[in-house]
Amino acid sequence: MDITIRPIETAEHTILADITAEAYLGDGLLEFGDGDPYLTQLRDVPRRAAEAEVLVAADAQGRVLGGVTYAPPGNPWADIAAADEAEFRTLAVSREARGAGAGEALVRACVDRARATAGVSGIVLSTQPAMHGAHRIYRRLGFHRTPDRDWSPVADLTLLTFRLELRPSV
């Protein structure tokens, strides 16, 4: 599949909100289902796009397949990043596009942005234990688990963390 990664357009906010909500709800990742308070944040693409960089994966016809929020160092959307780290979150791909490379392309775009930023030593992320497909992407791209950074944003949910060490280009 021919996939393009680019910044989200305003007209696509609702599309990505729906894809993200469906990914989390459809995979059973929200403890309270439609009533989960995190769903409001997942659907608030306009806020994410105003405060961080939201990227989308689009097919050859321009159809949005998924998206991710990239937070450079110091960005308010970073949950666990140190001052010299970038972070990404809310990675989601539509059910129809899963397995076609959109998720990996979005992660690679975040890594490329982090590499292009002076002084960034790594890129980090938090993920739910059940997100096995995403974990495979992270490991394939060289991310390593950082269990000492695992954390719980709410009771009864421990998020796993991963980090990719960024080496300077030679």
Chain segment 24-45, per-residue pLDDT in tens: 888 777 776 787 788 889 999 9
Question: Cβ contacts of residue 161 below 8 Å, gap of 6+?
Answer: 80, 124, 125, 126, 127, 145, 146, 147, 149, 150, 151
Spatial separation of the C-alpha atoms in residues 118 and 114, rounded to whole Å: 8
Give backbone dihedrals phi and psi of 35, rounded to 5 degrees, phi first.
-95, 5
Q: What is the pLDDT along the chain (170 residues), one digit of tens a residue?
A: 799 999 999 999 999 999 999 998 887 777 767 877 888 899 999 999 999 999 999 999 999 999 999 999 999 999 999 999 999 999 999 999 998 999 999 999 999 999 999 999 999 999 999 899 999 999 999 999 999 999 998 878 899 999 999 975 44
Q: Which of these, 12, 21, 160, lies nearest to 80 by C-alpha position?
A: 160
Six-digit token string for 144: 């390593």
pLDDT, tens digit, 9 for 90 and up, residues 123-148: 999 999 989 999 999 999 999 999 99
Spatial separation of the C-alpha atoms in residues 41 and 152, rounded to whole Å: 17
Contact yes or no for 151/80 (Cβ under 8 A): yes
Spatial separation of the C-alpha atoms in residues 112 and 86, rounded to whole Å: 11
Question: What is the model's pTM?
Answer: 0.93
